[in-house]
A and B are shown apart, each in its own frame.
Chain A
Amino acid sequence: MTRPPKKTTGPAPSPRRPKKEATPVVAAPVIAAAADAQLEETWADAPGFWGWLTTVDHKRIARRYLVTAFIFFLLAGLAAVAMRLQLSKPENTLLSPARYNELFTIHGSTMMFIFAVPIMEAVTVFLIPLMVGARALAFPRLNAYSYWVYLAGALTLWIGFILNVGPDIGWFAYTPLSGPEYSAGHRADIWAQMITFTEIAALAVAVNLMATILKMRAPGMTLSRMPLFAWSTLVTSLMTIFALPAVMLASSLLMSDRLLGTHFYNAAEGGDHILYQHLFWFFGHPEVYIIFLPGLGFVSMITATFSRRPVFGHIVMVLALISIGFLAFGLWVHHMFATGLPRLGNSFYTAASMAIALPSGVQIFCWIATIWSGRPVFKTPLLWVIGFIVTFVIGGLSGVMVASVPLDLQLHDTYFVVAHFHYVLIGGAVFPLFGAFQYWFPKFTGRMLSETLGKWHFWLFFIGFNVAFFPMHILGLMGMPRRVYTYPSGMGWERYNQIATLGGVIVVVSVLSFIVNVLTSLRRGVPAGDNPWDAPSLEWAATSPPAPYNFAHTPVISSREPLWEQREVLPIMTGLSTAEREVLVTTPVDAEPDNRQSSPDPSIWPFVAAIATTMVLIGTIFSEWALVWGAVPLTIAFSGWFWPKRPRRGAKQEPQ
């Protein structure tokens, strides 16, 4: 074992140059094999179900996140299909108004909180440690806790729906409709606590990712050499940390109004309904960017790999991401132009909202320029990128339209807006996401997805999506408002609604082809090898699927495209323990080795803590005393979690 006798300023990068794809060390294969075996043992989970419950491996947890979020995507998609069938003819009685309102509430809430944000986190949690060359996330147990809390929130919402106490107040739950006077029962409480669950989870993930990106990058991966996906994750995490507290405040004050009889949102007692809207949209607008910035990260990585050149304008892209992150917090009022706020003030929000077209437009330019000046290879992931540009730009431009105060006064809360944000969110997030699945599936599973089925999936989805959502622009312009369970005949809306429903059916077929592709490829897919696409970024230096410890040796980076720059060999650094879980901490800007940090072992406590959290949050739906009694199991769980670690036999204790 190669351990430096004393750690002072950290281990220096070693110039050993093993072969990139085979066993990492050529010089001393026997020692290396022994080290690998020990690494394997150190980072292994307990076998069986116990190991499944206690794992803190970011890859296992990410796969779990992916599958869960995707299942909820399918469920929320089915809710959408039911709504489309209801709207396929005027005065349809397929669904009752109450059921329809529940369906669009659960569709929106699930897609935003239980699918879009978590699935982006899932991919990110899997990739980021690999992409920055780390052994693990910064806080592995927190990651496990995030997943369990997220799962509890998702189940709360859907079990409520199945038991016919699902929320029926829209994904935005405006007061007073969601307040104590107009939402009797517990439907609104379930919505509010689902928010608390998913936001706790998302905040924990954001902190985790930020710490990992800033403090655990491989030596040499300075900020300026960091991949664009890591940049988009960094910006997203920062935005999450600033935006999510606003919605937790909004929903907690709502809970407090409902449970304790406070009057935050009671206009008759000096409260204010506009306060709710400000808090909600201060979160709600950045949320959109939180969902699609990771998508922009996927697009950059895929575009570079399949254009056979780095993305044009790396620095411009980074600046664009950062400025989108900033501007996103200055536009929330464009959701409230019709509430009667001061006109001059509204105009500033118009300008800020339109201004975001500049960094977005620059990014679009850079991707197209990359494809133009490279030699594009039309594998399925690149098709998704092209589909992304074609659809997302429509969403962006209709976004410019609704950013104008006077025009928004006509288009707000109509199907035009429904069309707009589906073009932004599906075009800007789901297209890149499917591209990312196709691209990173080999890394997730070790096998390739089928290109043929992948192309079917893409074309059906592209056509189905546009057939389903383009007519909605027209419906909005023809005066059809949102969130109506039916409409009178004679308005001329039938035909476009039927076309939209047909498009929805094509999308269903497309998603089915994706599921078939995943299931068959898991069993019979072509084994991928480490770097099937000849991609430049570091995650492709790990095995597919990666070992629990990610890399046998920490790689050392000297360029933005390490696997293209060093085509034969990748420099590595030695010095991390193989006998216990140890990760390398580097400096935030220059990524110079700074410290060795022990990484926590698997533990059941994150799971227990999530159950304790669930007890508190579910309890508060029914009684404020749950906060008091629920503190007991929470205290026990967190004490167990943070109980000081006993040093292993024979291992040296860390100085800090």
Chain B
Amino acid sequence: MKQAASGLIALLLLCGCSGVQTPLDPAGDQAASIHTMWNVMLVVCSFFYALVIGGLLWAVVRRRREPVPEPQASAHDPGIERTLAVWTGLILAGLTLLISWSFFVDRSLAQTHDDQALHITVTGYQWWWRVEYQDGPVNQWFETANEIHLPAGRTARIKLESGDVIHSFWAPNLAGKMDLIPGRHNVLDITPRRIGVYRSQCAEFCGMQHAHMALPITVESPEAFKVWRAHQLQAAKAPTSQQEAFGKAVFETKACAFCHKIDGADAGGRTAPNLTHLASRPSLAADAIPYSRGALAGWISDPQGMKPGTKMPNVPLTSAESSAVVAYLDSLK
């Protein structure tokens, strides 16, 4: 009982907790309405647990000092039968409340009639995310990877697809999760309200690096989003130094360009993340490593060491080539 009570207190405290990856700190409409469901559940379930534990305690202490009688072979207990009827009624009432509440919350998640929705397609791969903004005229479309920016107050309609195995898109502060399944097209609506950076993480086991498959989501003001979007629409910055130019040449002629795409360079691979604005992203390798020039250098020289099993091979480069590629990529703000 004491344990249960302390557990309950811990849970109640959690309701006020904050974080970048928790359903208890909603920053969007969908997460908020699920959060009310959680509160209702917690209250109803705690009530029933208290009843059970109270009854059990009473049953255990009631006759513990009496002498042990010969066992009764049969018993008729009209009083308990009436209590059972009451208990059954209570359970039915509780379940009715929860089932209807759940039903209406679920309806609310599907009821965004926002014709102005921002259309984004997120495709999951082992172990990174392709993010395609497909909003407005086609010349306004662009692609990025392992990051999402969303304008606060506008519903984003995210189409979820998979390029290989099943993944699941889960940004708990914004909405519930939805799977990315090969051969199927799922849709998830997110209406972010509070500005901030939230973390989403793959929630369906997808192989060796399932643990390192996250996706930071930046919710920003519509103005800031407009600026970001305009920047994303631009091609990559041209090299400004000799080293960067050499890095670009290495990138285009060595293994890099087979898998990666950089708009504005001679690199059009589609099997790995688009790197056009790599240096403007908060992290590397699906949020496995926070972005810094040093981390980038480490990643390029030994991806298998930093994220064992990643599909990016260790590409043999001389140290001059390697630092040139780092310099070039680090310039891609």
A interface residues, Cβ below 8 angstroms from B: 96-98, 101, 168, 170, 174, 176-177, 181-182, 267-268, 271-274, 308-310, 312-313, 316, 338-340, 343, 346-347, 350-351, 354-355, 357-358, 361-362, 364-366, 368-369, 371-378, 386, 389-390, 393-394, 397-398, 400-401, 404-414, 466, 470, 473-474, 477-479, 481-488, 491-492, 534, 536, 559-561, 564-565
Q: Is the CB of A361 within 8 A of B102?
A: no
- A274/B73 contact (C-beta < 8 A), A377-B68, A386-B56, A481-B201 known: no
Interface segment, one of B83-91, B231-239, B249-257: B83-91
Which residues of chain B have C-beta atoms less than 8 A from A176's C-beta? 164-166, 182
- A479/B37 contact (C-beta < 8 A), A357-B91, A406-B105 known: no
- A410/B34 contact (C-beta < 8 A), A177-B207, A368-B55 known: yes
Interface segment, one of B59-67, B147-155, B220-228, B265-273: B59-67
B interface residues, Cβ below 8 angstroms from A: 3-4, 7, 10-11, 14, 17, 19, 21-24, 31, 33-34, 37-38, 41, 45, 48-49, 52-53, 55-56, 58-60, 62-64, 66-75, 77, 80-81, 83-84, 87-88, 91-92, 95, 98-99, 101-103, 105-107, 109-110, 126, 160, 164-166, 168, 170, 172, 175-179, 181-184, 186-187, 199, 201-211, 287, 308-309
Which residues of chain A have C-beta atoms less than 8 A from B67's C-beta? 375
- A486/B211 contact (C-beta < 8 A), A340-B186, A361-B87 known: yes
Which residues of chain B have C-beta atoms less than 8 A from A398's C-beta? 45
Which residues of chain A have C-beta atoms less than 8 A from B164's C-beta? 176, 181-182
Q: How far is the CB of A251 from chain B (nearest CB, A)?
A: 17
Q: Is the CB of B181 within 8 A of A339?
A: yes
- A369/B24 contact (C-beta < 8 A), A483-B210, A484-B210 known: no
Which residues of chain B have C-beta atoms less than 8 A from A559's C-beta? 73-74
Which residues of chain B have C-beta atoms less than 8 A from A410's C-beta? 23, 31, 34, 38, 172, 176-177
Closest to B290 in A: A488
A466 CA / B53 CA spacing, docked (Å)? 16
- A312/B203 contact (C-beta < 8 A), A376-B60, A406-B106, A484-B211 known: no
A463 CA / B103 CA spacing, docked (Å)? 37
Which residues of chain B have C-beta atoms less than 8 A from A486's C-beta? 211
Q: Is the CB of A375 within 8 A of B69?
A: yes
Known: A350-B103, A365-B83, A393-B49. 17 other contacts (CB 8 A): A97-B309, A176-B164, A176-B166, A182-B165, A182-B207, A267-B182, A308-B70, A338-B203, A338-B204, A340-B160, A340-B184, A365-B84, A371-B59, A372-B80, A393-B48, A485-B211, A559-B74
Q: Is the CB of B168 within 8 A of A470?
A: no
Which residues of chain A have C-beta atoms less than 8 A from B181's C-beta? 267, 273-274, 339-340
Selected contact of B23 from candidates A101, A313, A346, A479, CB within 8 Å: A479
Q: Is the CB of B106 within 8 A of A487?
A: no
Q: Is the CB of A386 within 8 A of B184?
A: no
Q: How far is the CB of A281 from chain B (nearest CB, A)?
A: 14
Which residues of chain A have C-beta atoms less than 8 A from B56's C-beta? 368, 371, 386, 389-390
A211 CA / B56 CA spacing, docked (Å)? 37
Most buried by B among A316, A366, A374, A479: A479
Most buried by A among B17, B60, B102, B103: B102
Q: Is the CB of B69 within 8 A of A98?
A: no
- List 5 A-B pairs, minimum CB-CB distance, nearest first: A409-B176, A267-B183, A479-B21, A372-B59, A484-B211
Q: Is the CB of A491 within 8 A of B64?
A: no
Most buried by B among A96, A98, A340, A564: A340
Most buried by B among A310, A358, A369, A470: A369
Q: Is the CB of A362 within 8 A of B88?
A: yes
Selected contact of A272 from candidates B52, B95, B183, B203, CB within 8 Å: B183
Q: Is the CB of B72 within 8 A of A310?
A: yes
Selected contact of B183 from candidates A268, A378, A560, CB within 8 Å: A268
Which residues of chain B have C-beta atoms less than 8 A from A394's C-beta? 4, 49
Q: Is the CB of B83 within 8 A of A369?
A: yes
